[in-house]
Every structure is written in structure tokens, then in C-alpha cells.
A and B are shown apart, each in its own frame.
Chain A
Amino acid sequence: MLSAGELLDLTVPCDVRAPGIARAALAAAHDGGWSLDESLLVASELVTNAVRHSGCGAVHTLTVTLGRRKGNLIIAVRDPGLSGDVAEPSGGKYPGPGGWGLDIVERLSINWGTERSDGYCVWAELASEW
């Protein structure tokens, strides 16, 4: 089960601003315990996927949380899950409409996964640098 967002619990509009807002908040929450560049990229990809594929509109928001699990960083992005789409990497082929986003998440994380309950959540676990 996911840890609570003890490092960050952020609500962002479900539109093109969301990745930038999430990155700014993540950078502000960075305590040196994990790779900032990798976490910014993973968060940006997870949030972008939610904006592009969740079927959300102007009235919807996304929740971005950062927490720790056994010392590692968990980045989780929850969307309204309106489209019913599932998160699936392109598998290294030239990316289709889904793009490279989840391939990047897969490469940079130790684990990633999804949950469908109270919307749709995609999370990634990044190695601690301590």
C-alpha cells in the first residue's frame, strides 16, 4: 500500500500547467535524499500522462504526493480516472500517442504500479541516495 504523502500533498489543476506546478513543488520539497533530476522527470511524466490520458477537464484536479517507503521515495499521481485507460509503457518502440512517458518512469524507478480506487493512481518508487 502507498505511504501517505508526508513530504508533499499537492492538488494541481488537470491542465498543461500541472507538470510545471508539480516540479516546482517537488524541487521545494527536495531534501537531498534522492536524485532531484530523476524525480523531476518522473513526476513530470506521471503528471503529463494524467493530464493527457485520464479524460479530465477544467473542473478536475490531480493529486501529487511524495512519501517514503523503506527509505525510498514514492511519487504518486492520482487522477479522476474518467477514461478507463490503463498505464502501459510503449516497450521501446518508437512511441505512439502515449509517448515515452512510462518508459522513462520504468527506466528510472525501482518499481512502479497503478491502483484503481477513488480514481486512478500511478506511482513510482525511486532509490534513496542516502
Chain B
Amino acid sequence: MAETDAQSQSVPAEELPSFAITTDRDTDGVRLIVAGDLDLSSARELDRILDGMAPGDGERLLVDLDGVEFMDSSGLAAIVRAKRFADHNGYRMTIRYRTPQVRQILDVCGMLDYLTLED
């Protein structure tokens, strides 16, 4: 999709909602820890990092949304893209979340079953 001027222009970082991504390894594979608001201002950063994820054989990618306080469809779209990529490339991707609002958007968009919850 062509980007609009509004999306490509740079804005002062201090005026953006708080957002952080940390990549970690655990015994099952790769864990991506996301915190803050996952919206239009941060979804592209998540996309970029998810694009570079390459779990090894038999490993899973966990997208840990426990620290996400708010997520809208821009954030959900990035996570669903990552899941489709994982399915296509033959590795497992799971998610976890804690905030009721995150569960709500997964439910409203019919993604509760499609996105696998980490055991």
C-alpha cells in the first residue's frame, strides 16, 4: 500500500505514546517482549522487528504482550502478519497477554482462535 504523507513524516519521539520491544531467548526459542501502546505509531517498529525474526529448527516465537496496555487494529495487523509468516515458514508462533483490552480486540476481530496462546 502506498504510504500517505501523514505516515512517512517524522514526528518528535517525545510526543509518541510509550513503547518498547525487547528480544530475548528462552528454553523454547525466541521471546519478543512488547510493552506500551501498540498503535499506528508503533506497529511499523513491531513489523520491522518481526520481519527479522528467524527462530531455529523446532523453536517457537513467543510474542509477549503482557506489558501492552493498549492495542488497536494497527497492532493486531502486525501480529497477524507475523503469524501468517510463521505458518508459511514452518515455525510456531504463540502469544500471551494480560490486559482485558487486548483480549477484547482479539475477540472483536475473531482472532482468539487463530492466535495460539502460550501454555
Chain A residues proximal to chain B, CB less than 8 Å: 13-21, 23, 37-38, 40-41, 44-45, 48, 51-58, 60, 92, 95, 97, 99-101, 103-104, 107-108
Contact = CB atoms under 8 A, between A and B. Distances in A.
A51 B73 contact: no
Q: What is the interface residue range for chain B against chain A?
A: 20 to 34
Contacts of B9: 15, 57-58
A17 B73 contact: no
Interface of B: 1, 4-7, 9, 11, 15-17, 37, 39-41, 70, 72-74, 76-77, 100-101, 104-105, 108-110
Contact of A37 (B1, B77, B104): B104
Contacts of A56: 4-6
Given A45-B72, A100-B76, A58 B5 contact: yes
Instruction: Return the 3 tightest CB-CB contacts between A and B, nearest first.
Output: A57-B5, A20-B17, A100-B73
Contacts of B6: 14-16, 51-52, 54, 56-58, 60
